[in-house]
Structure formats: C-alpha cells, structure tokens
Amino acid sequence: MPQLGGGMEIFMKNKLNGRDFITIGIFNAIGIVIYMAASFAMATTVIGGFIASGVSFMVAATVYILMAVKVKKKGVFTISGTLLGLIALSGGHLPHAVFAVIGGIICDLIIGNYESKGRIVIGYGTFALADFLGTVIPVILFGTTSFVERASKWKMSEAQINEALSYFKVSWAVGFGFITFILACIGAFVATRILKKHFEKAGVI
C-alpha cells in the first residue's frame, strides 16, 4: 500500500494543475505575440516567409523554454501547439493547425521528464519544424491553388506569387526545414544559457 500511495503522489505531482494552465496560458500569450510579430516582419519578403517559422521560434525561444522549465510537466508543448493550431485554424489553415498540434506532441515526447537540456533543445527545434512543414507540405502534396488564393488576399504581386511558387519543391522544403530547425535550436540553446545564468540564480525556476 505505501508503494501505491507513493506512485499516486508522483502521478499527481506530474499532472498539470490549475496553476500550470495559468502559467502556460500567460507565457503562450507572450510567445504568440512575439511569434506573430516576427512572422509578419519576415513575410515582407518571399524568402523571409519561408524561414519565418525558424526566426519566430528563435526569437520567442526564451519565453517558451522558461514556460516549459517552470511547469516541467508533459503536455506543455502539446497545449502550446494546440493554441498555435487554433490561431492557424481561425485563418482557415487546417493542415497548419494539425501540424502544430502534432509538433507539440512530438516535442513533449522528445523532452520527456526535462532531465536533458539537449533533448529540450532538439524537442523545441522539432516543434518549430512541424510548424514550418504545416505551411509547405500541403501545397507540395495538394497543389498551389489554396496558396495562390491566400497570397492574393495578402496583396502579394503576381511576381511575388510566382517567386514563392518556385520554392514549393521537396528540395527547397528540405533546405528551409533544416534552416528552421537549426534557428529554433539556436534560440533554445541560448535560452537555456540565459535561464542558467539569470533565472536560476534569481530563483524564478
């Protein structure tokens, strides 16, 4: 019986509670604002639009990583991916929403119990990569019609649309995907260094 009680205590300790959800909500609100601002800034050029996910997650890394290590429980990035997915869904981007959620789930699985900073960095990079793939793979697999329609609404010129379409190829997707992953990992690595140097000493974590 003592073993059962101890196991239940560990389970409850690792389960997200009300305070955790509030923390996740607050940090996601900040992270999403940074993500959106960086994405819009990068989208002013065609190439920038393709690396927007990487740059956005690199810039927002400190917010997301601080959130994750404060809560330190499975499900943090699944919820974060779901929130990003809801934003994508509100804009009519269902595939992007699905990839965001899947990316969050995979990220949580990679990070595990937060015992390895390396796994946190790789998990976060995967989270960003999934976000990028959600914007590119559907166009490569199912055609460019939906992208052209959205691009017209974004007031992109015909020349810009044609330039963007030239990058919707597997080879370019692999290249931009790699860049996205590396940028996000750099952001996460820097974030872990900042957290180590400042936040832990301040007793924030």
Amino acid found at 22 = I
CATH of 2-202, one of 1.10.357, 1.10.1760, 1.10.10, 3.30.70: 1.10.1760
Give the per-residue pLDDT at 10. Answer: 41
Residues 6+ away with beta carbon under 8 Å from 190: 61, 62
Q: Which residue has the higher pLDDT, 91 or 120?
A: 120
Give the per-residue pLDDT at 13. Answer: 62
- Percent of the chain with pLDDT strictly greater than 70: 89
Mean pLDDT of 113-117: 89
Q: What is the pLDDT of residues 14-62, one digit of tens each?
A: 789 999 999 999 999 999 999 999 999 998 888 999 999 999 999 999 9
Give the per-residue pLDDT at 167. Answer: 83
The domain spans of the chain are 2-202
Q: Is 54:180 a contact under the CB 8 Å cutoff?
A: yes
Q: What is the pLDDT of residues 126-145, one digit of tens each?
A: 999 999 999 999 888 877 77
Give the C-alpha separation, 173 to 189, whole Å: 24
Give the C-alpha separation, 39 to 162, whole Å: 20
Residue 82 scores a pLDDT above 60: yes
Q: Is 110:126 a contact under the CB 8 Å cutoff?
A: yes
Mean pLDDT of 163-175: 89
Give the C-alpha separation, 145 to 139, whole Å: 8
Give the per-residue pLDDT at 160. Answer: 84
Angle, helices 94-111 vs 76-90, to 10°: value is 170
Give the per-residue pLDDT at 67. Answer: 95
Q: What is the pLDDT of residues 187-201, one digit of tens each?
A: 999 999 998 875 666
Give the C-alpha separation, 67 to 78, whole Å: 13
Residue 4 scores a pLDDT above 50: no
Question: DSSP letters along the chain, please?
Answer: -HHHHHHHHHHHHHS--HHHHHHHHHHHHHHHHHHHHHHHHHTTSHHHHHSHHHHHHHHTHHHHHHHHHHH-STTHHHHHHHHHHHHHHHTT-HHHHHHHHHHHHHHHHHHTTT--HHHHHHHHHHHHHHHHHHHHHHHHHH-SHHHHHHHHHTT--HHHHHHHHTT-SHHHHHHHHHHHHHHHHHHHHHHHHHIIIIIHHHT--
Average pLDDT, the chain: 88
Q: Read off the pLDDT band of 203 (50, 70, 90).
A: low
Give the per-residue pLDDT at 8. Answer: 40
